[in-house]
Structure 1
Amino acid sequence: MLSRAPFVSIVAVLVAGILLSGYFTTILPLEYAACAAAVLLILSAGLYYKHRKTAFTVCFSVFLLFTGIYIRIFQDHKLNAERNALQLNTYSDYELEIKTLPEKRQQSVRMEASVHRILSRGKWIPVSVKALVSIPSDAALIPEVGDRLVVHGNLKVPDAPSNPFQFDYRRYLRNKGIQWTAYLPDGTYEILPETATYPGPGLWSLKVSEWADHVFRKNMTDDRSYGLVKAMLLGRRDDLRSEQVDDYTTSGTVHILSVSGMHVAIIFLTVSFLLGWMKRWKQGKILYLATTILLLGFYALVTGMPPSVQRATLMCIVFVVAEVFGRKQHAMNTLAVSAFLILFFDPYACYDVGFQLSYLAMTGIFLLYEPICSMFAPAHRVIRFTWQITALSFAAQLATFPLSLYYFHQFPSYFWLVNPFVIAFTNVLLPAALLLLAVSLTNIFWLQTAVNFVVDISAWLTNFSVSIPKKLPGFLIENLHLSMPEVLMLYVLLFLVWYAYQTREYVYLKYVYALVFIFISCAVSVSMMTFLEEETVTYAIPGHSVMSFKKDAKLYLVADKGFAKDTNAYDYYVRNYVVNREVDKTIFISGQ
């Protein structure tokens, strides 16, 4: 099967190069990496022409490795140049342009911006850097997307993590191409008058997204349903209630609240189902291709075209092009082609959790759905459909399970119960919400009311479904910890089981048993060493004085009285340490 998907191997080697590039950034000049890649490509072409397959495979693999190293180093140099453009200049003011719609936070609104120039010694100097800007929610002037601001003050580099296992916010933003932040209270900025400039497709898509938000707010009276549709379709969670997010987290369906490949795939499958009849015509395939790409593009515009949707839309377009023009397509190969295109132009996407989970979920569906679905073949149509959705959910969950544990440290016990219902309801909700946007332009009241009813009832059913697990015992297992070697071992286990099933060579199950033994041995030994280790930590937490002492599986936290109530500070600065040190019980000791 893998022999029919050569791009899987190509992407794997490219990813290896991107990951290894961190070791070469300081010792391998950019020009050397480019020259090495060029020489290897020419050598690979010569070996291919001479039909020396083994030598060509080795040489081309090394070329891909150096290509991954080069594109990552190239991006690093670009970001370093942008950072130096500000750090090496003294400036008092800067001009920026708002690039994203404002996102509501607890006490502020947040948006991404591009800084175009800085005022240094009375002279404006052009620069080009991205920044994350926060403004108090009660500010007199809240800028909109496309607005230009002149700000008095300086941008700030995000602080590096100062506590053990603390989330690295600086690296997280850098992987998104953002290296600067700014907090702008009233009086520190001025919105410039509008200038007659071409808005560009990015700004246009955000305006479309803003219009879609107004349509949903106007038509949907239930706040919970509106918050769900806004999160699923527009990718903005600022109108979701905290208990609503908690319901989705504990049910294992929080991924549907972020616009991702799954959402684009639902739209794609719906469009393919409704327009499949076009392919019977003589020129119907071209019309089917154009219509599908147009509708996918419209959905991408509605969401504001965040990177996750751009990646997923590209993936689906590659699929539909392969379907229309290819004699024979292999799903994994097509998936790998889209991943290659994304990583070649944006190597930092490799570090994006959404990118990793989206492609792992699609991989699980392509490789594991059929074996799981074949385990049970009910005759009744309704039961068969329910089982197919359940198998689809299992396949995606199984493929993302190790990485989800690594990042989120929790496991929803009843995901298998809730996911089939959520998938079924969202398969109705997403297309219906898009249809609502379309019919809102027609001013046909009865049609708009009918579509709005479908959106409301499917959103309510989705919200109701995810609230069920909280009423059951043991709905969430928390504070689970996996190291990266353990995650890799689990994925090797999954691959060996799948490969044994696919090739019917069950001798590979011997390696599975051996790897299970190694995995258990490593996990138990590491847990024992962690349990026996005693450790004292003094934390650097703004506004608080905190230190801890770990003994066995207990953590004694000595802190000021306010820290025990500051759950946000605990979650951000301490919780990762608790999880990584496998602490079962945290005991707060209040100081003065």
Structure 2
Amino acid sequence: MKNPFSKIPFLFFLIPLIVGILLQYYLKIEYSGIAFSLTGLMAMLFSYLIREDRQFRWRWLFGAGVCLFLISIGIVSTTLRQQKSEFEYLDKIQVYTGVVTDTPQEKKKTTAYRVYLSREDKLIVCYFQRDTLDNNRLQPGDIFSFQGKIQPFQDIGDFDYTRYMYNQGFVGSAYVSRHLWQTTGETSLSLKYTALRCRQHIMDFYKSLGFNDTEYSILSALTLGYQEGLTDDIKQGFRTTGTVHVLSVSGLHVGIIYLMISFLLGFIRKGTGYYWLKPLLIIVLLWVYAFITGLPPSVIRASAMLTVFCASEIFGRKSFSLHALYIAGFFILLINPFSLFDIGFQLSFMSVLSILYLLPKISGLWRIENKYLRHIWQMSALSVVAQLATFPLCLYYFGTFPTYFFVTNLLIVPLVTLIIYAVGGIGLAKLLSLIMPDLSAYFYCLPVKILGGLVGFMTGIIRFFENLPFALVNDAKISFPDMVLIYTLITGALAFFIYKKPIGLILGLLSILLFFIVRIYHNVSI
């Protein structure tokens, strides 16, 4: 029987690591990790001591030992992460020194800063009175000292905010009163803070081009992931149409950038002696994009996954794509096991999985000779596969169902692609203006008008679909079994339509039947 892990062996490593993370996260069995580790090592050692004539019968023993050892690694890494999230809350004001780790978020009466306490090795959120920052606004990387009392987070309504921040690595929050803080005049030069400052410079450059507030806020969100300038009306419009995901740079954006760069480098033909330059340039440009967006975790994850995929192309291992995804996922979870519970990680992983596995198959269903039309079709196919991979997760976590999401995404995702191209045109205009500064106004004129028109057209589409009847179905939250059944339905349907396998149709119909049985049972039991 053929080994199902033969082409993607790192999936065999990833699954037991996830099992170990889940066991420790929910059951807290850190001391049992020793038993898993010793049992696994003994099984691997014993597999080498078996007589040659019995080795075939016991061939599974080494794999079982590796599996147990990886479970122990998941337990240990999660234990260390949990220990880092522990904090002793003191009922008195203390003096702390912290580093601003992100762009500030404006609240109604305060400004929220995410802060790393270097002495305590903890992450917290500091809330400043707005009027105390008028003349001394902190930037990412700025080091300051303050007096305050760190308190645990409080849940917000039905939302488990405490658990959410715990998974993000934050231990608590502190309110910083007027005159109880001061800057040290020092700035951390780490790559993360430098990237965030670079993002701020690009946003200031956007503002200098004369965009109105709506265009500027949407452009900053679409290309750089900065959403603080968006009004509630704009956010609600994107939520209602099921396109809010385009406002947060994530796996979808990195996928668009990947396809865009591949398209622009299409002149480098496969089979030539210098073809390796194409995946190498893609890797470099992907990480340049990750840097200018401020190195958010979602972009780092997606870039890491596609980097491993491009590296496999350099070494002539095209079939290595899914293996590349599992390698990236393994090391991401090994470094930070709490990423498993991050919605961003789950959405990024599913987006990139669909791009690597489904996109070639879906885009190949329609052969188009014209390369420009083919690229538009690929963007549409990208929207389809990304939505198929992520909308069950969105239903599970958020409980809202945008009725027209499929149509709006077919329109919005290609528009986002064109907007990114237009931003590239502005980047080219910036380069030309440095060479010929006297002509800079002419260089910027066309791309700025195109960009403004595209953003205006996109907001017009959002407003149109938002105002249609039944645009958003609320209270559509599904359970975890429901989500599994929806994914089973999608998998079965794809197996039937792509591979023409009747088992896929049977699986899909069975999942529909089970879904309705579960829903009916749930309604009756209530």
Same fold (TM over 0.5): yes
Q: Return the alpha-carbon distance in structure 2 between the equivalents of residues 385 and 375 of structure 1.
A: 14
1:230-379 matched pairs, under 5 angstroms: 230-278=220-268, 284-369=274-359
Q: Return the alpha-carbon distance in structure 2 between the equivalents of residues 251 and 2 of structure 1.
A: 39
- In the alignment, does 2:106 pair up with 1:104? yes
* 8 Å CA contact retained: 1:40, 1:63: no
Alpha-carbon offset, residue 398 of structure 1:
2.0
SS at match of 1:152: strand
Residue of structure 2 equivalent to 1:481: 477
What letter corresponds to residue 54 of structure 1 in structure 2?
W
Residue of structure 1 equivalent to 2:128: 135
* 8 Å CA contact retained: 1:18, 1:347: yes
Structure 2 vs 1, CA of residues 189 and 210 (structure 1 numbering), >3 Å: closer, same or farther? same
Structure 1: runs of 5 or more not aligned: 117-125, 531-592
SS at match of 1:170: helix
What letter corresponds to residue 148 of structure 1 in structure 2?
I
Residue of structure 1 equivalent to 2:97: 95
Q: How many residue pairs are counted as aligned between the two chains?
A: 511
* 8 Å CA contact retained: 2:143, 2:188: no
* 8 Å CA contact retained: 1:30, 1:73: no
Using the size of structure 2 for normalisation, the TM-score is 0.87
Residue of structure 2 equivalent to 1:546: none
Residue of structure 2 equivalent to 1:464: 460
1:54 corresponds, among 60, 66, 86, to 60
Alpha-carbon offset, residue 385 of structure 1:
6.5
* 8 Å CA contact retained: 1:439, 1:448: yes
Alpha-carbon offset, residue 461 of structure 1:
2.3
1:188-587 matched pairs, under 5 angstroms: 188-192=180-184, 194-195=185-186, 199-278=189-268, 284-369=274-359, 388-437=378-427, 439-440=429-430, 442=434, 443=437, 445=440, 446-499=442-495, 504-507=500-503, 509-530=505-526
What letter corresponds to residue 161 of structure 2 in structure 1?
Y
Structure 2 vs 1, CA of residues 36 and 460 (structure 1 numbering), >3 Å: closer, same or farther? farther
Residue of structure 2 equivalent to 1:536: none
* 8 Å CA contact retained: 1:205, 1:304: yes
Q: Return the alpha-carbon distance in structure 2 between the equivalents of residues 281 and 498 of structure 1.
A: 32
Structure 2 vs 1, CA of residues 241 and 367 (structure 1 numbering), >3 Å: closer, same or farther? same
* 8 Å CA contact retained: 1:300, 1:310: yes
Structure 2 vs 1, CA of residues 99 and 374 (structure 1 numbering), >3 Å: closer, same or farther? closer
Alpha-carbon offset, residue 21 of structure 1:
2.1
Alpha-carbon offset, residue 328 of structure 1:
3.2
- In percent, how many aligned pairs have the same letter? 25
1:54-93 matched pairs, under 5 angstroms: 54-80=60-86, 83-84=87-88, 87=89, 92-93=94-95
- In the alignment, does 2:210 pair up with 1:187? no
* 8 Å CA contact retained: 2:40, 2:64: no
Q: CA RMSD in A?
A: 3.1
SS at match of 2:121: strand
TM-superposition CA deviations, 1:7-43 (whole Å, max 9, x none): 3343233223222222442562665555556556656
SS at match of 2:84: helix
Q: Return the alpha-carbon distance in structure 1 between the equivalents of residues 46 and 464 of structure 2.
A: 60
TM-superposition CA deviations, 1:20-71 (whole Å, max 9, x none): 2224425626655555565566567889x96754333333333333332222
Structure 2 vs 1, CA of residues 159 and 471 (structure 1 numbering), >3 Å: closer, same or farther? closer
Structure 2 vs 1, CA of residues 415 and 220 (structure 1 numbering), >3 Å: closer, same or farther? farther
Q: Return the alpha-carbon distance in structure 2 between the equivalents of residues 300 and 371 of structure 1.
A: 27
1:22 corresponds, among 21, 25, 32, to 25
TM-superposition CA deviations, 1:221-255 (whole Å, max 9, x none): 22212111111222211111211111111111100
What letter corresponds to residue 289 of structure 2 in structure 1?
Y
Q: Return the alpha-carbon distance in structure 2 between the equivalents of residues 46 and 215 of structure 1.
A: 67
Structure 2 vs 1, CA of residues 160 and 244 (structure 1 numbering), >3 Å: closer, same or farther? closer
Q: Return the alpha-carbon distance in structure 1 between the equivalents of residues 176 and 93 of structure 2.
A: 16
TM-superposition CA deviations, 1:311-336 (whole Å, max 9, x none): 11111211211111133324322222
TM-superposition CA deviations, 1:252-283 (whole Å, max 9, x none): 11001001011122122212222243466976
* 8 Å CA contact retained: 2:96, 2:117: yes
Structure 2: runs of 5 or more not aligned: none
* 8 Å CA contact retained: 2:40, 2:65: no
* 8 Å CA contact retained: 1:105, 1:238: no
SS at match of 2:108: coil
Residue of structure 2 equivalent to 1:548: none
* 8 Å CA contact retained: 1:96, 1:150: yes
Structure 2 vs 1, CA of residues 18 and 458 (structure 1 numbering), >3 Å: closer, same or farther? same
* 8 Å CA contact retained: 2:494, 2:504: no
- In the alignment, does 2:33 pair up with 1:10? no
Q: Return the alpha-carbon distance in structure 2 between the equivalents of residues 485 and 368 of structure 1.
A: 24
Q: Return the alpha-carbon distance in structure 1 between the equivalents of residues 346 and 110 of structure 2.
A: 30
TM-superposition CA deviations, 1:312-368 (whole Å, max 9, x none): 111121121111113332432222222122112111111111111122223334444
Alpha-carbon offset, residue 501 of structure 1:
5.5
* 8 Å CA contact retained: 1:134, 1:183: yes
What letter corresponds to residue 145 of structure 1 in structure 2?
P
* 8 Å CA contact retained: 2:491, 2:508: no
Residue of structure 2 equivalent to 1:542: none
Structure 2 vs 1, CA of residues 447 and 219 (structure 1 numbering), >3 Å: closer, same or farther? same
What letter corresponds to residue 456 of structure 1 in structure 2?
G
TM-superposition CA deviations, 1:377-423 (whole Å, max 9, x none): 78999987666544432322222222111111111111222112211
* 8 Å CA contact retained: 1:95, 1:115: yes
Structure 2 vs 1, CA of residues 515 and 202 (structure 1 numbering), >3 Å: closer, same or farther? closer
Q: Return the alpha-carbon distance in structure 2 between the equivalents of residues 376 and 437 of structure 1.
A: 33
Q: Return the alpha-carbon distance in structure 2 between the equivalents of residues 295 and 384 of structure 1.
A: 23
What letter corresponds to residue 128 of structure 1 in structure 2?
D
* 8 Å CA contact retained: 1:208, 1:302: yes
